[in-house]
A and B are shown apart, each in its own frame.
Chain A
Amino acid sequence: MKRVIALLMENQPGALSRVVGLFSQRGYNIESLIVAPTEDPSLSRLTMTTEGDTQVVEQITKQLNKLIDVVKVLDLSFEEYVGRELLLIKMEFSEEAEAEVSNLGGQVLFKDDNLLNVEFVGASEELDEIVTSLAKLNPLEVVRTGLSGISSTTKTLTI
Chain B
Amino acid sequence: MSKEKLSGAEALMRSLQDEGIELVFGYPGGASLHIYDALFNQQAVQHVLVRHEQGAVHAADGYARSTGKAGVVFVTSGPGATNAITGLATAHMDSTPVIVISGQVKSHLIGTDSFQETDMIGVSRPIVKHSFLAQRAEDIPMIVKKAFHIATTGRPGPVVIDIPKDVTDPDYKFDYSYPKDIDIRSYKPVEEGHSGQIRKAAKLLLKSERPVIYSGGGVIQNDASEELTSLVKYLDFPVTNTLMGLGAYPGTDKNFLGMLGMHGTYEANMAMHNCDLILAVGARFDDRITNDPAQFALGAKKIHIDIDPASLSKIIKVDVPIVGSAKTCLDQLLNELKKNESKLDKNKIEPWRKQIKEWRKEHGLNHRMLKDASNSKKILPQHVIQSLYKETKGDAYVTSDVGQHQMFAAQYYHFDKPRRWINSGGLGTMGFGLPAAMGVQLAFPNSTVACVTGEGSIQMCIQELSTCLQYDLPIKIINLNNSSLGMVKQWQDMQYGGRLSQSTYEDSLPDFVKLTESFGHVGIKVEKPEDLESAMKKCFELKDKLVFLDIVIDEDEHVYPMLEAGMAMDSMWLDKKTKTWK
Contact = CB atoms under 8 A, between A and B. Distances in A.
Given A65-B309, A70-B186, 9 more contacts: A10-B186, A14-B131, A58-B313, A59-B310, A62-B309, A66-B309, A68-B129, A68-B186, A159-B185
A69 interface: yes
Interface residues of A, number: 21
Interface in B277-319: 308-310, 313-314, 317
Given A59-B310, A63-B310, A71 B126 contact: no
A105 interface: no
Interface of A: 9-10, 13-14, 17-18, 21, 25, 55, 58-59, 62-63, 65-66, 68-72, 159
Contact of A14 (B121, B126, B310, B314): B121
A71 B125 contact: no
A71 B129 contact: no
10 smallest beta-carbon distances between A and B, as pairs: A62-B310, A71-B186, A68-B130, A25-B126, A62-B309, A68-B187, A63-B310, A21-B125, A66-B310, A70-B186
Interface in B156-207: 184-187
Given A21-B125, A21-B126, A55-B313, A66 B308 contact: yes
A136 B368 CA distance: 79
Interface of B: 121-122, 125-126, 129-131, 133, 150, 184-187, 308-310, 313-314, 317
Nearest to A15: B186
A105 B310 CA distance: 45
A18 B125 contact: yes
Given A59-B310, A62-B310, A68 B184 contact: yes
B329 to A, nearest CB: 18
Contacts of A10: 186
A25 B185 CA distance: 25
B42 to A, nearest CB: 30
Contact of A13 (B125, B129, B133, B308): B133
B310 to A, nearest CB: 4
Contacts of B187: 68
Nearest to B132: A14
Contacts of A63: 310
B70 to A, nearest CB: 16
A68 B184 CA distance: 8
B311 to A, nearest CB: 9
Contacts of B126: 21, 25
A21 to B, nearest CB: 5
